[in-house]
Amino acid sequence: MPPIIDVADLRKRYAGAKSEAVAGVSFRVEEGEVFGLLGPNGAGKTTTIGTMTTRVRPTSGSVVVDGVDVVADPVAAKLRIAVVPQRANLDRSLSALENLTFHAAYFGYGRRERNVRAREMLERFGLQGRGDDRVDNYSGGMAQRLIIARALMHDPRVLFLDEPTTGLDPQSRLFLWDQMEALKARGVTLLLTTHDMAEADRLCDRIAIVDHGKVIASDTPRGLRRVLPGAEGLEVRLEVADDPAAALGSLGEVETEPDGDGQFKARIYGADVAPGAAIAAAEAGGARVLDLRRIEGTLEDVFVHLTGRDLR
Ligand SMILES: Nc1ncnc2c1ncn2[C@@H]1O[C@H](COP(=O)(O)OP(=O)(O)O)[C@@H](O)[C@H]1O
Ligand SMILES: [Mg+2]
C-alpha cells in the first residue's frame, strides 16, 4: 500500500526570510500510524503541517496525502484531512454547537445530520449540556476539546494536531491521549507535534526530529532512545558495608550514590549487562542486591543530545 502521507524534499522560504523555514524535508506515514514531529521552537513543524493542510504553499517539493497532491488539488485534499491548529481558531461569537454545525455545513452535511453529529461529538468530548454556551465562556481545556470535536465532524482519514496538549491540565491531557488512541484504533492516521517527550513516546509509532528545517533523525521511539547507548544499562540497589563500586567494578562503567542506611544506588551502563551477572558480581563483592531494574535513556535525553541546549 502506498503511504497515506508522502512528503518529498519539501522546502518553504517565507517572503523576505533569509533562510528556509523548511529546508528539504522528506518522510512517509503509513495509514493508521501515529507519526510525531518533534523539534525546538522555530524548527519548521507548523510550516510543514501548514503545507500538508494547504494553508502554506511550498516553495518546492511535493506533498501527497491519501493519493492527492495537496498543491495541485487543495480542495480534494481538504476533504480527507482535518487540522487541530497550534492556535485556537474557534469562532468566539458563536456557540459551541454552532462551531460544529457550521463546520459540517461547509463540508456539505445536511441540517439533520450535522445536528446529530454535533451532539454526538459534544458528548464524546465531555461537553454535553454546554453546546449552547458561547465559546468565549469556555476554559482552555474545553476549547481544545471542542476544536478536536470540530476537526472530526467530517470524518477525516488523516488528522493533524499541532501541539494539541500544550498548556492543558493533566486531566485534559489524559483525556486527549485517550481520544487519540481511540482514533488510532479506528484507523485514523494521526500526525502530531508536541514538546512533551513522554507524550511522544507513549503515542507515536514513529517520530521525526526536526531542527532548522531539516529532519535530523527518524525512527520508532525505542529506536531513538537507543541513539544514546551510554544511557542504557541497569540500576541496582545494594546493601554493602564498604565501597559499592568495587563490588560491581568488574562489570564496566559504574556510577554509585548513597541511598541511606548502608544502601547504595548503582548504575551500570551498557546495553548488554545481564541482571544475573550483576547479582553474582555484587554477591561476590560482599553486597546484597535489594532491587534491580533496566534503565533506558529517555526520549528527552535523545532530543537534547540531537538538538543541543541552545535557546531558540
Ligand atoms: N508566516 C510566516 N512568515 C514568516 N516567517 C514565518 C512564518 N511562520 C513561521 N515563520 C518562521 O519560520 C520558521 C519556522 O517556524 P514554524 O514552522 O512555526 O516552527 P515550529 O512550529 O517548529 O516552531 C521560524 O523561523 C519562524 O519564525
Ligand atoms: Mg509550531
Whole-number percent of the chain with pLDDT over 70: 99
pLDDT of residue 229: 67
- Structural domain contains residue 312: no
Instruction: Give me ligand 1 centre to Cα 17, in Å.
Output: 10
Torsion sign, CA atoms 19, 20, 23, 25: positive
Q: What is the pLDDT of residues 64-108, one digit of tens each?
A: 999 999 999 999 999 999 999 998 899 999 999 999 999 999 999
Are 180 and 241 in a shared domain? no
CA proximity to 156, closest of 123, 110, 191: 191
- Structural domain contains residue 301: no
pLDDT of residue 249: 78
Mutate to test the pocket of ligand 1, among 10, 25, 45, 47 (most ligand atoms within 8 A of CB): 47
- Structural domain contains residue 50: yes
In the chain, the number of structural domains is 2
Range of the domain at 289: 229-296
C-alpha cell at 40: 525546538
Instruction: Give me ligand 1 centre to Cα 236, in Å.
Output: 46
Q: What is the pLDDT of residues 195-232, one digit of tens each?
A: 999 999 999 999 999 999 999 999 999 999 888 867 78
Are 150 and 279 in a shared domain? no
C-alpha cell at 197: 517527550
Question: 3-state SS string over 165-234?
Answer: CCCCCHHHHHHHHHHHHHHHHCCCEEEEECCCHHHHHHHCCEEEEEECCEEEEEECHHHHHCCCHHHCEE
Boundary residue ending a domain (184, 207, 222): 222
Contact 78, 158 (CB under 8 A): no
Which residue owns the Cα nearest ligand 1 atom 7? 14
Instruction: Give me ligand 1 centre to Cα 45, in Å.
Output: 8
Over residues 233-238, the mean pLDDT reads: 91
Q: What is the pLDDT of residues 296-306, one digit of tens each?
A: 888 999 999 99
Are 108 and 197 in a shared domain? yes
Residue 41 CB–ligand 1 contact under 6 Å = yes
- Structural domain contains residue 214: yes
Q: What is the pLDDT of residues 14-59, one digit of tens each?
A: 999 999 999 999 999 999 999 999 999 999 999 999 999 999 999 9
Which residue owns the Cα nearest ligand 1 atom 11? 21
Q: What is the DSSP string of 76-142?
A: HHHHHEEEE-SS----TTSBHHHHHHHHHHHTT--HHHHHHHHHHHHHHTT-TT-TTSBGGG--HHH
- Structural domain contains residue 252: yes
Boundary residue ending a domain (168, 196, 222): 222
Are 259 and 151 in a shared domain? no
Are 112 and 237 in a shared domain? no
Q: How many CB atoms lie within 10 A of CB 216?
A: 13
Are 59 and 107 in a shared domain? yes
Taking the C-alpha atoms of residue 55 and residue 39, their distance in angstroms, rounded to an integer, is 20
Are 218 and 236 in a shared domain? no
Residue 12 CB–ligand 1 contact under 6 Å = no
Contact 123, 87 (CB under 8 A): no
Q: What is the CATH number of the domain that holds 215?
A: 3.40.50.300
Mutate to test the pocket of ligand 1, among 11, 41, 46, 48 (most ligand atoms within 8 A of CB): 46
- Structural domain contains residue 234: yes
Are 149 and 259 in a shared domain? no
Q: How many CB atoms lie within 10 A of CB 253?
A: 12
Q: What is the CATH number of the domain that holds 249?
A: 3.30.70
Boundary residue ending a domain (222, 256, 288): 222
Which residue owns the Cα nearest ligand 1 atom 18? 46
